[in-house]
Structure 1
């Protein structure tokens, strides 16, 4: 391979644009060769001659392939609004390589954040404090709020746009707005996990916590101690995720209605029930119905009485038989229930 031979280099570049770095200095200054390289791999602009790094046609081809190649353009072209805007359309990080002048240019930055809000990271301090710019960035990417000025992070209109896009980014709101019900409610509607970032006051707001646990029961973790002891809240949480019982107050871990609902949703939740309810026959029956493998998680006293799930199921048959005779019924209903449990057992591997 002769790296001074234009035909050889052009052939190599067709396979890999990065091959330009091995070409001779003469061919790195050959427009045809460099255009071929940047068409294949925009970053190969790095290896072009200074003359061609200042050639608008070459640079435009490079940024069309990858906007990040603006890094290797001449300072003159890094200060060209059209070229920078075009680069930002292809790669949100391209604004990083623009001139300081253009990082402070409203039109350029606006176009950049419209394409990807994360471009705000490289905007000037002045434009990070511009409401119009930041709102547009947050509409596109909620996380753009992290790059806004502290003043803008305390602007309700801007923060609402951010959390509408992604509630998680309540993280970057001011302490004042983390304590604002409208903002926090919008955030948890979008992402219940955002309850984590809310103020203590909002974590004690029933409307907000209810909205969070309805969609992600485990976010009960972030609720106030008072609401972890609220039956309505905890009941909604375990309906969505039985294991959320683990975050409930001790009092509600001893509430039979709540524990029944929890183990119906996920029988593993029995681990978080009170000792009394871990040994409750009705609760244990629900655990077995949901997944017999979790029989090992029930109360110690109950397992001492019924060491295996089979022993427990046989006791259930006996109870059903006694109840059927006492009511003057046949044993069909007992058999149907036992058959269902046995069928569940056979399907354990599918659960």
Structure 2
């Protein structure tokens, strides 16, 4: 007569396994199949039948031990896969979401909340989910920039996006909404910048503009330049906002105390202050804290004040535009400006644009600032590579300085070997679509193109239409193996190629869109078919959770005891 024992191993709230061991009269035991069932997922794993007997014959013991070790290895791999998944779920993704997270609503919302972007990386079907779009818009208004349809005509969704004051403006709303004065007023109440994008009808009706300013006083800063320059309009607006102006006939009549109060809120109104107050350091500095452009209206003496210039350019490099011509030649001021914003180089004196140290500082902050440097420095190799390091997208605009004879260092690059070395160096710097902007002969060099593909897959995508290698699958395969995102830039035909799709998935989880098949393949290949459970997790508890999911490893000990 056989005896039956049952062991239950619970390794999560919603995942369990069951082991049945039948002990027979002859001392042998039969271990039945174990089913690992996850009631909340359409998945069932049937585990192996170890043996029909627990006899002490060497062959049987070896077989059981082998199966036991195989099972243990699988569980350990799943444990490691779960840990890897948990850690990857907390990473910041710059260019795409791996397929395992493309359809994960909680992950997407968390990424948007933490980093301010990611909506464009998610599964396309989620963009049709209004409730999810609304949740995302409440975190980051800019998510609506990925829409050209219903959401931009959805009043509630658009208002939630505007409320965040992040990345979304009223101009992106549908024309129908912009015709609705009540909607526009509510938009302005929530986000003062909305007044800048209000419909033409609003601008023609000043009473509506005044009503908007009543709704949100900050809207005054965002009215059109025409209205900002209109003394009569500005005076009436100030009378609505500040009781002190009730009996004034001119803004310039305001004394220092009143003007300090005004420019603290609206620095640009320094324009209407008296000449005396425009030369008052307290008034000007207060205005500058509100709006750096107000330096344009300060007296010449204060525009030439190096202390003010250094303070303002440190806060906003563009303030260099409004300092005196003399200070635009002052290296300390210019360096302070370009270290804050490289584009400030545009407002430096010609002398400073020829200064190597200044230009290097500018391009290290903003690669595209190179366009404002002196022509000679635009051809300087070190400066060019510093600009490319900061912003690879600058390469198309300066490639002619590297590969054509008018380059100041042509002698250094006067042979094909040197050109090839340069191309490989650019690929290592991360330049994308490199072959579009270099001499045609290199786009036909198969060996060179393959080398580049191995260094940076995105450097070879988008080969010129006339290149014989443009749709060469072998080269595209190398590119995708280097970076799965390369699949995004190849022809539609190659995007559907199963081998390329799988390679992109294996490389870094890239997929053009979410599908269950790709998700399952990614989980199998990269996470060892880890059982994730229903709960959401964090890296802090991943070790304890992973351990809990592998409690059934104690079976090894039980088998020995039996």
Q: What TM-score does the superposition give when structure 1 sets the normalisation length?
A: 0.59
**Contact 1:160–1:183 (8 Å) recurs in 2:** no
Please name the residue that 2:379 is paired with: 154
Greater displacement, 60-69 / 204-213? 204-213
Residue number among 323, 333, 340 corresponding to 1:98 in the alignment: 323
Which residue in 2 is equivalent to 1:236?
478
Q: Does residue 192 in structure 1 map to residue 192 in structure 2? A: no
**Residue equivalent to 1:333:** none
Say if 2:388 and 2:394, in contact at 8 Å, map to a contact too: yes
Counterpart CA distance in 1 for 2:463 and 2:492 is 5
Q: 8 Å contact 1:121–1:147 — kept in the other structure?
A: yes
| Mapped partners of 1:182, 1:35: distance in 2 | 61
Match of residue 332 from structure 2? 107
Native 8 Å contact 2:251 2:272 kept in 1:
no
**Distance in 1 separating the partners of 2:452 and 2:359:** 29
1:70–1:202 distance in 2 versus 1, CA, 3 Å: farther
Identify if the C-alpha distance between structure 1 residues 243 and 49 changes in structure 2 by more than 3 Å, giving closer, same or farther: closer
Change (3 A) 1:244 1:144: closer
For residues 40-86 of structure 1, the C-alpha deviation after alignment (integer angstroms, 9 at most, x for no partner) is: 22222122111111112211111122212111111221111221222
1:63 pairs, out of 275, 288, 294, with: 288
Moved more, 146-155 or 207-216: 207-216
- Rounded to whole Å, the distance in 2 between the matches of 1:181 and 1:173 is 17
Q: In the alignment, which of 367, 371, 374 is matched to residue 142 of structure 1? A: 367
Q: In the alignment, which residue of structure 2 is the partner of 1:120?
A: 345
Q: 1:237 to 1:290 in 2, by over 3 A?
A: same
Q: Following the alignment from structure 2 to structure 1, what is the Cα–Cα distance between the partners of residues 385 and 395?
A: 9
Residues 77-107 of structure 1 deviation map (CA, whole Å, 9 limit, x = unaligned): 1111221222223333221112211111111
Instruction: Quote how far apart the aligned CAs of 1:182 are.
Output: 6.4
Alpha-carbon spacing, 1:176–1:105, altered in 2? closer, same or farther (3 Å)? same
Per the alignment, in what secondary structure is the counterpart of residue 463 of structure 2? helix
- SS in structure 1 opposite 2:400? coil
Instruction: Kindly state the Cα deviation for residue 202 of structure 1 after the two structures are TM-superposed.
Output: 5.7
Q: Match for residue 76 of structure 1? A: 301
Q: Normalization by structure 2: what TM-score?
A: 0.39
Q: How does 1:198-209 map to 2 (within 5 A)?
A: 198-200=438-440, 203=443, 205-206=448-449, 209=452
The answer to whether the 8 A contact 1:41-1:62 is kept is yes
* Cα separation, 2, equivalents of 1:202 and 1:66: 51
From the two aligned structures, give the one with the greater strand fraction: 2
Distance 2:453 2:261 in 1: 60
Classify the secondary structure of the residue corresponding to 2:284: helix
Query: What corresponds to 2:255 in structure 1?
Result: 30
For residue 172 of structure 1, report the CA deviation from its aligned partner: 3.5
- CA shift at 1:39, angstroms? 1.6
Structure 2: gaps spanning 5 or more residues: 1-213, 222-227, 236-244, 405-418, 505-516, 520-562
**CA distance in 2 between partners of 1:38 and 1:61 (Å):** 7
Residue of structure 2 equivalent to 1:262: 500
Describe the SS at the equivalent of 1:171.
helix
After TM superposition, list the pairs within 5 Å mapping 1:1-351 onto structure 2.
Answer: 21-22=234-235, 23=245, 24=248, 25=250, 28-173=253-398, 175-178=400-403, 185=424, 187-188=426-427, 189-193=429-433, 195-200=435-440, 203=443, 205-206=448-449, 209-210=452-453, 214-215=457-458, 219-222=461-464, 225-228=467-470, 232-239=474-481, 240=484, 241-242=486-487, 244-246=489-491, 259-262=497-500, 264=502
Q: Counterparts of 1:153 and 1:174 in 2: how far apart (Å)?
A: 11
RMSD (CA atoms): 3.9
Q: 1:73 to 1:194 in 2, by over 3 A?
A: farther
8 Å Cα contact 2:321/2:347 also seen in 1: yes
1:222 is displaced (CA, Å) by: 4.1
Q: How many Å separate the matches in 1 of 2:267 and 2:442?
A: 49
* Residues 247/122 of structure 1: CA separation in 2 closer, same or farther (3 Å cut): farther
